[in-house]
Structure 1
Amino acid sequence: MCALKLLRCSHYQRLLLPSVSPLSVPRRSVTPSEYRRPGQPQDKRRPWQKVNFNFSKGVEGIKKHFTLLKKEVTDPFIGPEGRPLREHMLEQNRVLWEFKGPQDLEQWTVSCDQEIGGHSEVHLKMSRNNSTCFLYGTLSSVPPKDGETRYSGYCTMRSKKPQALFDRKKHHDWTTFNTLYLRVRGDGRPWMINIAAETYFSHQKDDIYNYFLYTRGGPYWQDVKIPFSKFFLTHRGRVQDDQHPLWLDKVNSIGFTLGDKVNGPFQLEIDYIGVCIDYAHTEEFAYELYKRNPEV
């Protein structure tokens, strides 16, 4: 009698309760694959096949790190950043990047929308007299036909991040200056100057300070002075409501971006990039600061 009741109860439970299958983990979460844009071929190489084993490159790396080791040991005995203390205290301007040979171009990287399937082109080379750098190419705002990208058309030139011994982090310290000074010759297009600084959190890695550079065009050079207080904070191209001044003691890189959506050739010639101190400029920050919890 008891066995019959148990059979009836189990039969009613199967009818009332839905069938539950064993817990299964999706295959995608177990073996995640790298994101690949539509139309791009899949890279089927093994992980060890992607490593470039080059003996000459290793020897160059050893020479580089021994040079940095010597510099880090001897510089503190000379003064701040390897210069005498008197020169450091009386310094009013400093040339950060100049172009006197092909070795100076190794401190820069160029990129464009070809990385996402676009049609723009960008090149960087020395001028004929080997005293300036020449950034040129063609801008195209036609988006790639991948069914995903809607906007395209940009070209960028950016300085490499400074590195200390054994590829440790290192930053530019511009705390004694308040103005960016550069000498350029453009073709009349508006450029965006980008300054990237070190951040505390990983979600701030795309925070960049920007300001506009309007070139006049023509055969004459243009001396541009931009106070650091004029640079505004953006995140992935969007201006942020919470603005705060640039940290001049933790600057990582500086760059130039063209994206005015005007298809055609462009060119920008740069003589040097430096910083200076303008005693007539006393502004700390040019934009309004918002208080999250204002006092009543």
Structure 2
Amino acid sequence: MFCVKNARLHPRTIWHFTSYGVLPIRCYRRPGVPPDNTPPWKKIDFNFSKGVQGIKKHFGLLKKEMFERFEGPQGRPMREIMLEQTRVVWEFRNQESLEQWVVSSDEEMGGKSKIYLRLSRNNQTALLYGNMCTEVPKDGETRYSGYCTLRSKQLLGAFNVKTHHDWSNFNTLYLRIRGDGRPWMMNIATETYFQHQKNDMYNYFLYTRGGPYWQDVKIPFSKFFLTSRGRIQDDQHPLWLDKINTLGFTLGDKADGPFHLEIDCIGVCNDRAHTEEFAYEKYKKNP
């Protein structure tokens, strides 16, 4: 197996062309950092108590999943699922809700941007804040810098089997936010079938108006367009709503300075007034 993590940052370190094909060399490594040659078996934490706790946890999840199948999808009655018009997917009311998310910035590749996530003063909303810095690291390799992201974690079932969000009964993403006027990019990652599609993502824009008032934002799923490694693809197709892996926010407006985004909740809804299936032309090759 080979790793292509952060391949867009330094693609020359990923592939080597030979007469036998394309061979993987190594992953992206921050310039100036020595390679980690530690054997994989030394990185394993052999802990008996943690192993017992893990067995109890995963067998408990397996039991829950088995009984939920008798009740209906996601452990809910079929009638309730069919009549459902709205669903709150994420609420931020305690510290556990924040643990479902991951923050990252260009600091991982030597940049100076900072991003943090915490509960607000009343412990009823999530506050995403930090400082954007577009200064390029002086390593002789990195050419661009200045981004901050917030991304939900992948859902995992019993024994860490990957599971997905099923939003096929809905057509609109709903957010209740309060920002500072900066534009954000919404990112939705879906399950892919082939290895070369692992960088595919669906994006759309989120504009905040600033000020003390909350915004109720509705973004139809038909507006999301397909990108790969940050580039919009010519061959577009609608978002697959039955296998949603993660949802994220990205800030990269190249404006240095502090930023903040307060999030009350994130959900999905079925807007009967919206009948559009896909907002973009789907070109056919050699029609």
TM-score by length of 1: 0.85
Alignment correspondent of 1:36: 29
Deviation at 1:73, TM superposition (A): 1.4
CA 1:57–1:124: 2 relative to 1, 3 Å: farther
Please list every run of 5 or more consecutive structure 2 residues that lacks an aligned counterpart in the other structure.
1-24
Q: Distance in 2 between matches of 1:179 and 1:267?
A: 24
- Counterpart check, 1:61 vs 2:51: no
Q: How many equivalent residue pairs?
A: 264
SS of residue in 2 equivalent to 1:225: strand
SS of residue in 1 equivalent to 2:51: helix
Matches within 5 A, 1:224-239: 224-239=217-232
Alignment correspondent of 2:3: none
* Amino acid in structure 1 at the alignment position of 2:276: E
- Counterpart check, 1:159 vs 2:152: yes
Q: Distance in 1 between matches of 2:28 and 2:271?
A: 48
Deviation at 1:285, TM superposition (A): 0.2
CA 1:233–1:48: 2 relative to 1, 3 Å: same
SS of residue in 2 equivalent to 1:118: coil
SS of residue in 2 equivalent to 1:143: coil
Q: Distance in 1 between matches of 2:128 and 2:236?
A: 31
Alignment correspondent of 2:197: 204
CA 1:142–1:182: 2 relative to 1, 3 Å: same
Alignment correspondent of 2:209: 216
Alignment correspondent of 1:252: 245
Q: Distance in 1 between matches of 2:177 and 2:26?
A: 45
Please list every run of 5 or more consecutive structure 1 residues that lacks an aligned counterpart in the other structure.
1-31
Q: Distance in 1 between matches of 2:221 and 2:137?
A: 36
Percent identity between the two aligned chains: 71
Query: What's the CA shift string for 1:22-59, capped at 9, x where partnerless?
Result: xxxxxxxxxx6665332113435443332334455434
Q: Distance in 2 between matches of 1:105 and 1:273?
A: 13
TM-score by length of 2: 0.87
Q: Distance in 1 between matches of 2:185 and 2:202?
A: 10
Matches within 5 A, 1:123-162: 123-162=116-155
Deviation at 1:65, TM superposition (A): 1.0
Alignment correspondent of 2:267: 274
Deviation at 1:226, TM superposition (A): 0.3
SS of residue in 2 equivalent to 1:87: helix
SS of residue in 2 equivalent to 1:69: helix
Alignment correspondent of 1:73: 66
CA 1:159–1:49: 2 relative to 1, 3 Å: same
Alignment correspondent of 1:262: 255
Mean Cα displacement is larger for which, 48-57 or 133-142?
A: 48-57
Which of 232, 236, 249 is equivalent to 1:243? 236
